[in-house]
Amino acid sequence: MLDLKFLRENPEVVKQNIRNKFQDAKLPLVDEVIALDEEKRRAKGEADALRANRNKVSKQIGAYMAQGKKEEAEAAKREVTKHSEALAALEAKETELDEKITKIMMTIPNIIDPSVPIGRDDSENVEVQRFGEAAVPDFEIPYHTDIMERFDGIDLDSARRVAGNGFYYLMGDIARLHSAVISYARDFMIDRGFTYCIPPFMIRSSVVTGVMSFAEMDAMMYKIEGEDLYLIGTSEHSMIGKFIDQILDEKDLPYTLTSYSPCFRKEKGAHGIEERGVYRIHQFEKQEMIVVCRPEESKMWFDKLWQNTVDLFRSMDVPVRTLECCSGDLADLKVKSVDVEAWSPRQKKYFEVGSCSNLGDAQARRLKIRINGADGKKYLAHTLNNTVVAPPRMLIALLENNLNADGSVNVPAVLRPYMGGKEKLIPKH
């Protein structure tokens, strides 16, 4: 969410940012919020004047009573009552206007970084760099669920009967490989200096609206009926929420945390053939990383975060590339974002396995996460997040890139300690 003062003083900058994000329908909101803000400030001015006059008259009542001027005292009391009634109406108006302003401000997109390429949607994202050789073997690679089935490693039919589409049972070596990836990712991030955390898997609405846009919330979150709780779609939300309404000491920054959690997502919309199996699902597990830091450090941390994911995937022999997300592909709170995509030798193309985002001070403003500076002045923190690894998609990349012609799968060396020393998975079929 933008600073209202910034919007008031830079309306054309905000409007151009909206155009850059191809959200022209939101352009009238800028003038609307400025008009509402002016009305609110007028109401506040009137209320302040009434309070001052009411306080002045209230003091006169005592003086009149001491002097035995009962009629004057009663007249003053009636005037105080009149002022109080008018003041109550103005305060109610202020509250109403403040709510309207906040609602609009929550929908106006954050100012994107100047380096972000201008584009309408993800088809206009820009490739930055490739890591590792994107090879295609001389044998046919089956669809990922077919590979898993050769190991008796997945049961989609039972999952449909139990929970419906978008769920799965992982079994045997495939389930173990899934857990190995999570455990390795945890230790990988701890070795890079991040503090390991297991967060709450449900969060209140005040946290949900603090960390994401209304559109994202509607498309992703599952609401717990009858309670002010939502199942998390990613542990980033719970982890950033950890700092809600806090004033952090500058000397304790940055906070660098890596978290494990299950994730729950509605995943609305049509899904193509390549999104079957365990690619787009309602429940999965993930290792995440978040940073809370000083504004001047957020660019440095952004580059460190996506590099962590690249290094992790390369350590498991998976070729990857990074994509700079264009303006139209950025969620409203994001300043800048880079996607990490893994190579699929079966599809002969890359697919998304993680996303690194710099939110600037947008989440901190909504959640009131402030820093107490060395000079005693308080300012808003910057928040960042990045996927370490989400094993369902990671499994697709891992299986395809380590598959042998005989159907066996090589276990990357870094995962073998988590797989009982196994160097290779042998199919049962």
More confident residue, 220 or 242: 242
User: Which strands sit side by side in the sheet containing 195-197, from one edge to the other?
Assistant: 126-131, 320-324, 336-344, 349-358, 382-389, 283-293, 255-264, 195-197
For domain 122-425, the CATH architecture is: 2-Layer Sandwich (3.30)
Report the predicted TM-score, pTM, of the whole model to 2 decimal places: 0.90
Q: At what angle do helices 27-66 and 70-105 cross, to 10 degrees?
A: 160
Closest CA to 325 of 160, 134, 118: 118
Banded model confidence at residue 270, pLDDT cuts 50, 70, 90: very low
For the cut 70, the answer to whether the pLDDT of residue 387 exceeds it is: yes
Closest CA to 389 of 213, 180, 211: 180
Helices (H), 194-269: 205-211, 214-220, 235-241
- DSSP bridge partners of 344: 349
Q: Residue 130 and residue 133: Cα distance in Å, rounded?
A: 8
pLDDT at residue 244, as a whole number: 98
Q: Is 31 exposed, middle or buried (0-12, 13-18, 19+ CB in 10 A)?
A: exposed
pLDDT at residue 293, as a whole number: 98
- Residue spans of the domains in the chain: they are 4-105, 122-425
Q: Are 257 and 235 in contact (CB under 8 A)?
A: no
Q: What is the pLDDT of residues 151-167, one digit of tens each?
A: 999 999 999 999 999 89
Q: Are 268 and 226 in contact (CB under 8 A)?
A: no
% of the chain exceeding 90 in pLDDT? 83
Mean pLDDT score across all residues of the chain:
94
Least confident stretch, 31-35, 88-92, 148-152, 176-180 = 88-92
Residue 173 structure tokens: 């070596």
Specify the DSSP class assigned to residue 223: E
Please tell me whether residue 94 adopts helix, strand or coil conformation.
helix
In the CATH scheme, what is the code of domain 4-105? 1.10.287.40
Q: Is 386 exposed, middle or buried (0-12, 13-18, 19+ CB in 10 A)?
A: buried
For the cut 60, the answer to whether the pLDDT of residue 273 exceeds it is: no
Q: What is the pLDDT of residues 77-86, one digit of tens each?
A: 888 888 888 8
pLDDT at residue 271, as a whole number: 52
Q: Residue 363 and residue 382: Cα distance in Å, rounded?
A: 8
Convert 225-237 to b/e letters by CB count within 10 Å (16 or more is b).
Answer: eeeebbbbbbbbb
pLDDT at residue 256, as a whole number: 98
Q: What is the pLDDT of residues 331-357, one digit of tens each?
A: 999 999 999 999 999 999 999 999 999
Question: What kind and span of H or E run contains 289?
Answer: strand 283-293
Q: Are 312 and 288 in contact (CB under 8 A)?
A: no
% of the chain exceeding 70 in pLDDT? 98
Q: Is 366 exposed, middle or buried (0-12, 13-18, 19+ CB in 10 A)?
A: buried
Q: Residue 387 and residue 354: Cα distance in Å, rounded?
A: 5
Q: What is the pLDDT of residues 46-88, one digit of tens each?
A: 988 888 888 888 888 888 888 888 888 888 888 888 888 888 9
